[in-house]
């Protein structure tokens, strides 16, 4: 999956010419839509599958704040 994302970033930055990226293997949680963009599905037993929108937004905010603190060199 990292290679797939890296390919899309390179293409978006104009570092490489657009090419058809290698398709993920069958059974992968990543699928490529008609637009060529990846879609990442969560496992059916993933905690996020049981969360409502407010809980998901709170989780996103918490995660982003933690990443920002880490980049700033602040303690967790």
CA atoms within 13 A on the CB side of 39: 7
What does DSSP assign to residue 43?
A: P
Where do the domains of the chain lie? 1-41, 44-76
pTM of the model: 0.49
Residue 16 has pLDDT above 80, yes or no: no
C-alpha span between 61 and 69 (Å, rounded): 12
- Which structure tokens are listed for 12? 């978006």
Q: Average pLDDT of 39-56?
A: 88
- Which structure tokens are listed for 53? 């929108």
Residue 53 has pLDDT above 80, yes or no: yes
């Amino acid at each position: 999956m990292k290679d797939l994302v890296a390919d899309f970033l390179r293409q978006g930055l104009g570092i490489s010419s657009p090419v058809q990226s290698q398709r993920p293997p069958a059974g992968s949680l990543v699928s490529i839509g008609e637009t060529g963009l990846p879609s990442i599905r969560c496992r059916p037993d993933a905690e996020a599958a049981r969360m409502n929108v407010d809980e998901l937004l709170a989780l996103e905010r918490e995660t982003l704040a933690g990443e920002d603190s880490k980049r700033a060199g602040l303690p967790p």
